[in-house]
Amino acid sequence: MEKLLKDKKAIFLFTFPTFLLFTVIVVLPIFFSIHYSTLQWDGFSKSVFVGLSNYRSLFVDNTDGFVQSVVNSLVLALISVGIQLPISLLLALILARGVRGERFFRTVYFIPVIISTVVIGQLWMKIYNADYGMLNIVLRALGLGKYANAWLADTRTALASVFIAMLWQYIGYHMLLMYAGAKSISPDIYEAARIDGASETQMAFRITIPLMKPILCVCVIFAVTGSFKAFDLIYVMTGGGPLHATEVPTTLMYTTIFSRYQYGYGSAMAIFIIAECLVCTVVIQKLFNRNAED
């Protein structure tokens, strides 16, 4: 048995393909990207080494609106944590405390998460459509026709409209994580609290939520990094327009690389996004841990 499990050839056969593919397709490209980000290069002609100047032009004398796109993604992160997560938490707490049809609600709330972004995008584009969209129809029916709008074509409303669709899609995802967290708390604790005369609300705030801290930390990290990495739904719904009103770093990166052929500059954006995600992950973990020690 021992001899079998030390079979070098088998170990190699079992692990090397994974190692090779993973290294070539995930790890090496990151180093390539870092390298590209120091070049001025259109992908075809000879590249010129420019040091960190691509990173500099992201923020200093920026002309393509990268700073604004970062601000947009920060706003998304903020409302994701401030609005989406509380809604998910409320739903998770209600379902976890036991209501009839718990399983049904849990299953149904999760549905938007599994649907293709292209489908979700088309759905919401129809909802926001100026002529026959559901939103305008409802507004007109309520006698609020003057507020009817071409939601995605108006620079003042486009960003909010896209964000609402994005928040909607992932409410169920966070709900499920929080639900699992709430469910893993021992019922005995509630029993004890009830004997001491605690109300449902008190138990939620004093017991459930504090004990859910680890999963809440995960949810906040997912919500924040997810906002920084958001691409699909914005790309489908507006492509960053109208007039760059809905641009986020990823959509800008995509057009910089594949429409403007600024490979070096676009790679600097990619590296910035990765760095942003890593830093925020660490900071959020630190914040949660410090709170836990108090």
Give the total of residues touching another protein (CB under 8 A): 101
Q: Which of 79, 92, 152, 215 binds another protein (CB under 8 A)?
A: 215
Q: Is 160 in the site for another protein (CB under 8 A)?
A: no
Quote the distance between the C-alpha of residue 271 and its chain's center.
17
Nearest C-alpha neighbor of 175 from the set 269, 91, 68, 80: 91
Q: Which of 49, 144, 183, 289 binds another protein (CB under 8 A)?
A: 183
Q: Which of 52, 67, 115, 292 binds another protein (CB under 8 A)?
A: 115
Q: Is 131 in the site for another protein (CB under 8 A)?
A: yes
**Which residues contact residue 96 at a Cβ distance below 8 angstroms, ignoring those fewer than 6 apart?**
179, 182, 183, 208
Q: Could you give the string, one character per residue 16-45, with x where binding to another protein holds by CB under 8 A and - elsewhere?
A: -xxx-xx--xx-xxx-xx--x------x--
Q: Is 231 in the site for another protein (CB under 8 A)?
A: yes
Residues 256-275 that bind another protein (CB under 8 A): 257-258, 263, 266-267, 270-271, 273-274
**Which residues contact residue 200 at a Cβ distance below 8 angstroms, ignoring those fewer than 6 apart?**
97
Residue closer to another protein by CB (options 51, 187) is 187
Q: Is 218 in the site for another protein (CB under 8 A)?
A: yes
Q: Which of 48, 107, 243, 287 binds another protein (CB under 8 A)?
A: 107
Q: Is 190 in the site for another protein (CB under 8 A)?
A: yes
In the chain, the amino acid numbered 2 is E
Q: Could you give the string, one character per residue 72-101, with x where binding to another protein holds by CB under 8 A and - elsewhere?
A: -------------------x--x-xxxx-x
Q: Is 288 in the site for another protein (CB under 8 A)?
A: no
Q: Is 60 in the site for another protein (CB under 8 A)?
A: no
Residue closer to another protein by CB (options 26, 142) is 26
Q: How far is 173 from 157, CA to CA, in rounded Å?
A: 26
- Find the shortest distance in angstroms from Cβ 122 to another protein: 6
Q: How far is 235 from 255, CA to CA, in rounded Å?
A: 10
- Find the shortest distance in angstroms from Cβ 48 to another protein: 17
Residue closer to another protein by CB (options 6, 46) is 6
Residue closer to another protein by CB (options 155, 184) is 184
Q: Is 242 in the site for another protein (CB under 8 A)?
A: no
Residue closer to another protein by CB (options 21, 71) is 21
Q: How far is 208 from 178, CA to CA, in rounded Å?
A: 10
Q: Which of 71, 147, 194, 210 binds another protein (CB under 8 A)?
A: 194
Residue closer to another protein by CB (options 158, 263) is 263
**Using alpha carbons only, what angle is made at residue 77 by residues 72 and 82, rounded to the nearest 5 degrees?**
125
